[in-house]
Chain A
Amino acid sequence: MLETIKEFAGEFFVTGDPMILGAQISIALVSLAILFVLTYFKKWKWLWTEWLTTVDHKKIGIMYIMASLLMLFRGGFDALLMRIQLAIPDAGFLHGDHYNQIFTTHGVIMILFMAMPLMFGLFNVIVPLQLGARDVAFPFLNAFSFWMFFAGAMLFNLSFVIGGSPAAGWLAYPPLSELTGSPGVGQDFYIWGIQISGIGSLATGINFVVTILKMRAPGMKLMKMPMFSWSTLASCITIMFAFPILTVTLFLLFLDRYMGAHFFTVDGGGNPMMYLNLIWMWGHPEVYIVVLPAFGIYSEVVSAFSRKKIFGYKSMVFALMSISFLSFFTWAHHFFTMGSGADVNAFFAVTTMIIAIPTGVKVFNWLFTMYRGRITFEVPMLWAIAFIPCFVVGGMTGVMLSVAPADFQFHNSYFLIAHFHQVLIGGVVFGYFAAFYYWWPKVFGFKLNATLGKWAFWLWNIGFYVCFMPQYYLGLDGMTRRLYTYDFDMGWLELNILSTIGAFFMGAAFLFQVWDIVYSIKNAKREHKADSWGVGRTLEWGIPSPPPFYNYARVPVVTEQDDFWEKKMRAERGEADPAIVKAAEEAPLEPIHMPKNSGIPIIMSGFWFIAGFGFVWDWKWMIVLGLIGVIATMIARSFNYNDDYYVQVEEIERIEAAAAAKGAV
């Protein structure tokens, strides 16, 4: 009996690595500490009613962002481990298999469990406020999406301490990711972690498309909609078309591994290149899914801190939508070396180059927005300004990679690594940080400390260039990706050391950001100003910070693009508001229709987690239990007709008066 338990534990838990043992112990301790604190301070009920069952888009957004920062920590830690290993030749810090696991989890976590949830968090926090809506179209589904993401992310991260991490690269190419190449359960954690969170992503995509198309404030025609909402629309449409492909691809890989099917195997007529095509049909749009909202953020931030209307609004919209469309026609540029012939490669080279055009249009629009603007350099604006040169260089190296014959040289070298980190960090991460600092005071009623913010900004930027510029050269010098060690006589020592130093600068920058958050929560002055920066242009800056849970006591009427700014300008010039705007503002308060909190999303996602865990270990009872739970919760939802209520006028008056007393409006 004892022997079987021992044997099982030996297979179940990852053993034999002191670093992982340390992680296991610290995870156990932290979990116990959280349980203790929640119990000791009697916070369980509060946690359940205020957060775990909430359907409020702002709270869901905050949870997304918190989770994504946690994932940024883990993904960043993975990156530092890799950079330590690569700093010097023949380093023995990590052995090969461990290194493979780390670059795999680094990639998956950064894209799917850091960038995606941070993006969804920003959608949630900002978009309904910008549209003048009281919530998203489907608040219940929104909560479900979050908990599916969370269940998937936890399942994936669990592989670190239980069963072993996946090690077949972030996109898990077969035949390496097949049972023959990766016999362990790590690859199954990969499949189910991504599959479960992917269902949530797809639902979010649909949710925001409906929200944006159907729930804008009266008068806000599509061509008066704020740029961030436009970019969300572009991104969510892309999600709708791309994510089903991911679902299918991972499902087929699962069938290969679980049922012995032959989709991507080398025997039985399978075709591994089919997997590459499918996964990149999702994977390439995916990078645009995360970068488009960043483009929207830059448009908002640049316009706000230049105190000017965005230059070329229509061309901006056109650029967003055409990027979203074109992103589906470039996937094969990820494997020009596959050998599909000159015609196919030429097609995909040209489509890739064409994408540079709308992107270039946007860069000029941002520059022209700043031209002759009254620019001030608050922290969000710093990130936006730093983004432009960084992204231009990253984009240019992308065009270099798109030249198919040249790509045969660049393919899978550090040149490529440097390129995609430059567009993903310089484009996506910088943008999300800009948004993080910009909208923080709207959500919490106080600003983050600017001094600490600037420290983080400069450390990030210096660290970024020191880390990745050498990698371009290393790539041209022959260093390939996914290489865990190299000989001294390759001559890569100096640049690798430099790169590692840069990586640690970015690590330090992250610590400054955490410090900034903690410091500001403790010390920042609670201003509660509606227009936190004094430069707000869109609707959300007209309501209290933080906004009441129903957002708008009266649904606003919009007459202009940048409606809030125009209203401020009218007041400055002493002009009266149009009659319809006035009428909407002075209308008597009416009861507000709101969705009720629900525990079903978190419970249903919990059952998905159980089913996924069962599939990973092939424990039939657990699979059945999980799936029955999923079906039962779905039925419970379908039979529940009591999911909404009205906020009464007295309650609204009380909340609005309290906000006004804090100096909110």
Chain B
Amino acid sequence: MSQAVSHDHEHHDHGHIDQNKLKQFGFWLFMMTDVILFASLFATFIVLRDNTSAGPIGADLIEINGIIVSTFILLTSSFTSGLALLEMNKGNKKGLIFWLVVTVALGLGFLGLEISEFIHLVHEGAAIHTSAYWSAFFTLVGTHGLHVTVGIVWIIGICLQLAKRGITPDTRRRVNITSLYWHFLDVVWIFVFTIVYLMEVM
């Protein structure tokens, strides 16, 4: 019923259906498919977690303190991206861009720690081709890292658009979607942190 009513309303606007709303809904659906993607990778990791093929195991090499630091950084970045939204809703362009830049900086920090962790692991003799366990480890954690990288490039692009165009319905939608994406990566990381790291070192 609400469908029909909202259409009636849009009908008066030259039959122009609100594209920004549609895109936001479409993005929610995309994130559902991304959940399935990560679910498949988690399932693979869980199935293969004992298949270390007599090679090194996670508990030997993972340095949990570094991971806790990077977890903290990513959670904070989620918070700052929320602050960015608050500034946007106040109509404060400068504040919005400021908090987005902070978010990107924290994201880069997270990424840097992840890369140095990977380099450390490879030096210790645990690479993607070492065993099924490490294949699954690098793929799952790396796919999350790749998502973060995409998010960083994306948010930078949107900062440039904001600087040029200010807060318009179109840029507002773009900020909303990236922020949704960023929180989503945070949620995925909680699962990575729990299943890949905590359960391994416990």
A residues with CB within 8 A of B:
134, 137-138, 141, 202, 205-207, 209-210, 213-222, 240-241, 243-245, 247-249, 251-252, 255-256, 259-263, 265, 267-271, 274, 278, 281, 555, 590-593, 631, 635, 638-639, 641, 644, 646
For B141, the chain A residues whose CB sits under 8 A away are none
CB distance from B53 to the nearest CB of A (A): 4
- The 8 A-B pairs of least Cβ separation, nearest first, read A269-B51, A269-B132, A260-B129, A261-B135, A269-B53, A244-B36, A248-B40, A244-B37
Contact string, B143-154, partner A, CB cutoff 8 A, digits 1/0?
A: 000000000011
Closest Cβ neighbor of B165 among chain A residues: A641
The answer to whether B3 and A209 have CB atoms under 8 Å apart is no
Given the known interface contacts A255-B128, A261-B135, A269-B48, the answer about A593 and B4 at a Cβ–Cβ threshold of 8 Å is no
For A217, the chain B residues whose CB sits under 8 A away are 7
CB distance from A388 to the nearest CB of B (A): 34
The answer to whether B157 and A635 have CB atoms under 8 Å apart is yes
Point out which of B41, B44, B131 has the most chain A C-beta atoms below 10 A from its C-beta. Answer: B44
For B132, the chain A residues whose CB sits under 8 A away are 262-263, 265, 268-271
The answer to whether A269 and B36 have CB atoms under 8 Å apart is no
Q: Could you list 19 A-B pairs, sorted by A, with CB under 8 Å?
A: A141-B26, A206-B29, A213-B3, A214-B17, A218-B7, A221-B3, A240-B29, A245-B40, A259-B128, A262-B51, A262-B135, A268-B132, A268-B135, A269-B52, A270-B132, A274-B44, A274-B48, A281-B40, A638-B157
The answer to whether B33 and A593 have CB atoms under 8 Å apart is no
The answer to whether A138 and B135 have CB atoms under 8 Å apart is no
The answer to whether B29 and A247 have CB atoms under 8 Å apart is no
CB distance from B142 to the nearest CB of A (A): 10
For B94, the chain A residues whose CB sits under 8 A away are none
The answer to whether A210 and B14 have CB atoms under 8 Å apart is no
Bound complex: CA of A646 vs CA of B19, how far in Å?
14
Q: Is B76 interfacial (CB 8 A cutoff)?
A: no
For B130, the chain A residues whose CB sits under 8 A away are 262, 268
B residues with CB within 8 A of A:
1, 3-4, 7-8, 11, 14-17, 19, 21-23, 25-26, 29-30, 32-34, 36-37, 40-41, 44, 47-48, 51-53, 128-133, 135-136, 138-139, 153-154, 157-158, 160-161, 165, 170, 174
The answer to whether A592 and B29 have CB atoms under 8 Å apart is no
The answer to whether A221 and B17 have CB atoms under 8 Å apart is no
Bound complex: CA of A342 vs CA of B177, how far in Å?
47
Point out which of B26, B51, B53 has the most chain A C-beta atoms below 10 A from its C-beta. Answer: B26
For B138, the chain A residues whose CB sits under 8 A away are 261
Bound complex: CA of A219 vs CA of B47, how far in Å?
49
Bound complex: CA of A205 vs CA of B47, how far in Å?
29
Contact for B15 among A134, A245, A256, CB less than 8 A: A134
For A248, the chain B residues whose CB sits under 8 A away are 37, 40-41, 44
Bound complex: CA of A267 vs CA of B130, how far in Å?
10
Q: A245-B40, A269-B53, A555-B11 are in contact. List 7 more A-B contacts (CB 8 A).
A: A138-B23, A210-B29, A240-B33, A268-B132, A268-B135, A593-B14, A638-B158
Bound complex: CA of A352 vs CA of B46, how far in Å?
27
The answer to whether B3 and A210 have CB atoms under 8 Å apart is no
Closest Cβ neighbor of A273 among chain B residues: B47
For A261, the chain B residues whose CB sits under 8 A away are 128-129, 135, 138-139
Given the known interface contacts A206-B30, A639-B161, the answer about A245 and B11 at a Cβ–Cβ threshold of 8 Å is no
Bound complex: CA of A528 vs CA of B136, how far in Å?
58
Bound complex: CA of A609 vs CA of B135, how far in Å?
27
Bound complex: CA of A447 vs CA of B193, how far in Å?
61
